[in-house]
Structure formats: C-alpha cells, structure tokens
C-alpha cells in the first residue's frame, strides 16, 4: 500500500482500488485490470503479506469516521441524524461512536 484514497466518509488503499477494478472488470466480462487472476492465484505468503496493509487501511478509515462523527457532535448534530446517515439506528451510532 502506498496511498490511501479518501471520499465522502470512506477510505480505500490504492492496492484495494486495483482489486476492486479487477473485480468489476471481471463481472463485466472484460479482461482483468493489471492481470488480476483472483485470490486463488495468490500464495499464502502473498495473502499474509497483504494483511498488515489492510489493517492499516481499516484503522485509518475508522479514525477518519470517528473524527467526522466527533465533529458532527461538536456541531450538536443529533445521534438520530448521524445514525440515519450511517444507515443505523441512533442507539447503534451512539454505542459505536460515543
């Protein structure tokens, strides 16, 4: 992983963008992007080596999400509105982010 791409409330690493593109290309019956041959083509060592980068990406995404929720609460946005935006109940949002 070299870069983390951010969008509205979401982060994804550059390696995962490539994987997503390959999956979408495969689903559209196109040639795979960058020669992606699927998870089965990767060795156990390759998959294990990718875990650390994936964990860092997930941690960064969680930190970004937490920071946004904290800013919304600082602005006195209700837990109901936050939960609705996240696709969860007010209670679930409060339990996860407070």
Residues 17-41: tens digit of each pLDDT: 777 777 776 665 555 556 667 778 8
Q: The pTM is what?
A: 0.57
Both tokens assigned to 33: 């992007």
What is the mean pLDDT of the segment spanning 72-83?
Answer: 97
How far CA 91 is from CA of 18, 19, 78, 83, 84, in Å, comes to 36, 34, 11, 8, 11
Q: Is residue 1's pLDDT more than 60?
A: no
Collapse the DSSP code of 6 into the 3-class scheme (helix H, G, I; strand E, B; otherwise coil) and give the result: strand
**pLDDT confidence band for 91 (50 / 70 / 90):** very high
């Amino acid at each position: 992983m070299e870069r983390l791409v951010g969008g509205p409330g979401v982060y994804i690493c550059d390696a995962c963008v490539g994987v997503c593109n390959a999956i979408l290309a495969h689903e559209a019956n196109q040639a795979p992007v960058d020669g992606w041959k699927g998870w089965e083509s990767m060795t156990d060592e390759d998959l294990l080596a990718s875990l650390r980068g994936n964990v860092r990406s997930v941690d960064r995404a969680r930190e970004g999400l937490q920071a946004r929720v904290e800013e919304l609460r600082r602005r006195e946005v209700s837990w109901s509105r936050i939960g609705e935006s996240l696709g969860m109940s007010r209670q679930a949002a409060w339990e996860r982010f407070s």
